[in-house]
Amino acid sequence: MSTPEGSNAYKVSLSFDKLSDTAVTLNSASRRLNEAIEQLNTALKQLNLGIPVWVSTFTHEEGSIVDREEIGYARVKGKWGICIRRTIDGFNGPNPDETEWHFDDAPRDLRIRNVPFLHRVIDKLNDDALRAAQQITESATEAEELAKVITIIAEKARPVKKNGGKQ
């Protein structure tokens, strides 16, 4: 049975045919984006930073409700990677409604909106890693000094055998 050209069914079938082609294009582009982010995740994982960072990318306030989006590098659901976080304050009283996704699990519109901020995530990772390295170096120096003093005290406190030798 053929559908008349001017009918609604015919118009819908043409539109759906175009939509089907568009979906292939959209999903292909989305796959490319996710693969690029996965390459970035692989490179970051090799650095073994273990430092979470978040960069604010969008804030919208309406009355007492604040809607915030962030992109970052964090451990979400037990796995480190580029992630997106959305927080809505003031909607559920004092407890913010917060949702975190790995990049490829985030809604498509959030992924698209947050990609331009990836360089800021890398910059913040570098800044925070430098700060952490400095703090760890200072802590290591302090711990080394403490260990040296304790070792000297422990050496002096060792009981001596009656024959003059150490136990």
pLDDT above 60 (res 164): no
- Residue 1 has a pLDDT of 57
pLDDT above 90: residue 138? yes
Instruction: Name the pLDDT band for 106 (thresholds 50, 70, 90).
Output: very high
CA distance 99 to 76: 10
Residues near 2 by beta carbon (within 8 Å), at least 6 away in sequence: none
163 has pLDDT over 90: no
Q: Is the pLDDT of residue 105 over 60?
A: yes
User: Tokens 């989305």, residue?
Assistant: 30
- Its pTM surpasses 0.75: yes
CB count within 10 Å of CB 79 equals 11
Q: What is the DSSP letter of 1?
A: -
Q: Which two tokens stand for residue 136?
A: 């760890």
* Contact by Cβ (8 Å): 90, 65: yes
Q: How much is the pLDDT for 5?
A: 81
> Both tokens of residue 83?
């992630």
Query: Chain centroid to CA 40: how far?
Result: 12
pLDDT of residue 165: 58
H helix or E strand, kind and range, residue 62? strand 53-62
Question: pLDDT averaged over the chain?
Answer: 92
pLDDT at 160: 64
Residue spans per domain, the chain: 9-155
Whether 70 and 84 have beta carbons less than 8 Å apart is answered as: yes
pLDDT in tens, 1-11: 567 887 899 99
The 10s digit of each residue's pLDDT in 34-90 is 999 999 999 999 999 999 999 999 999 998 899 999 999 999 999 999 999 999 998
What is the structure's pLDDT at 33?
Answer: 97
* 28-45 CB burial, b ≥16 within 10 A, e <16: eeeeebeeebeebbeebe
The DSSP result for 71-87, as a single string, is EEEEEETTEEEEEEEEE
**Mean pLDDT, range 103-123, rounded to an integer:** 97
